[in-house]
Amino acid sequence: MDPRDEKIANLEAQLAEAQTRERDGILRVKAEMENLRRRTELDIEKAHKFALEKFINELLPVIDSLDRALEVADKANPDMSAMVEGIELTLKSMLDVGA
């Protein structure tokens, strides 16, 4: 075999090997980007879930207080009916938010 042909064959083999390495590298980067995207989505989802959970937990004492206010309110007293109705509507709104 001519030394030039041997050199060409050697360079072609090196080129093919370099192309394979580059292709593999690109595939690894794409896979890592997809994994990063999925992890980020999960992290955001968890952050929203825990923020909502914290908000609901902070509302529970307020809801309990409104519930107790309705229990002790004099519903038969016409002067209190507007206030009782307001408390009931507020309580319903808070419960709807937590649902």
**Average of pLDDT values for 3-32?**
96
Cα atoms in the Cβ-side hemisphere of radius 13 Å centred on 59: 17
Q: Which amino acid is at 51?
A: A
pLDDT at 97: 79
97, containing H or E segment: helix 81-98
Q: Name the band, by pLDDT with cuts 50, 70 and 90, for residue 98.
A: low
Topology adopted by domain 3-98: Hemagglutinin Ectodomain; Chain B (3.90.20)
What pLDDT, in 10s, does the model give residues 28-82? 999 999 999 999 999 999 999 999 889 888 889 999 999 999 999 888 888 888 9
Q: Per-domain residue ranges for the chain?
A: 3-98
pLDDT at 91 over 70: yes
Rounded to whole angstroms, the Cα distance separating 95 from 86 reads 14
Q: Are 91 and 66 in contact (CB under 8 A)?
A: yes
> DSSP state, 15?
H
The alpha carbons of the chain give a radius of gyration, in whole angstroms, of: 34
